[in-house]
């Protein structure tokens, strides 16, 4: 199965279970049925957003600059300065 089919299958399974719990087809205590089940989609959305923000922050925190890219950039800057000096532009 492709990843899309697996994802769609999982979403259909979870949505079916949620709908069955929300409609009372799966018996839960009254307090759970009235106070927790209705807010599960919002909780899942907030949790997913928090996960995405964490993974974005972690990716930024652990971003590694390569030494080769640094030296390449410095070389390009020096080359650009030389070309501008030839054209009579003061770059310093």
Q: Residue 45 has what pLDDT? A: 96
| 5-55 pLDDT per residue, tens | 999 999 999 999 999 999 999 999 999 999 999 999 999 999 999 999 999
Query: Residue 88 CA to chain centroid, in angstroms?
Result: 47
Round to whole Å and give the CA distance between 39 and 47. 12
CB contact set of 8 (below 8 Å; sequence gap of 6+): none
Q: pTM for this one?
A: 0.58
| 2-23 burial: b if 16+ Cβ within 10 Å, else e | eeeeeeeeeeeeeeeeeeebee
């Amino acid at each position: 199965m492709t990843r899309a089919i697996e994802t769609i299958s999982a979403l259909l399974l979870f949505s079916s279970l949620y709908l069955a719990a929300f409609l009372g087809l799966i018996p839960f205590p009254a307090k759970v049925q009235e106070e927790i089940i209705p807010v599960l989609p919002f909780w899942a959305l907030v949790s997913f957003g928090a996960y995405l923000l964490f993974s974005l922050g972690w990716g930024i925190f652990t971003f590694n600059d390569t030494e080769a890219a640094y030296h390449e950039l410095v070389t390009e800057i020096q080359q650009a300065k030389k070309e501008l000096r030839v054209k009579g532009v003061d770059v310093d």
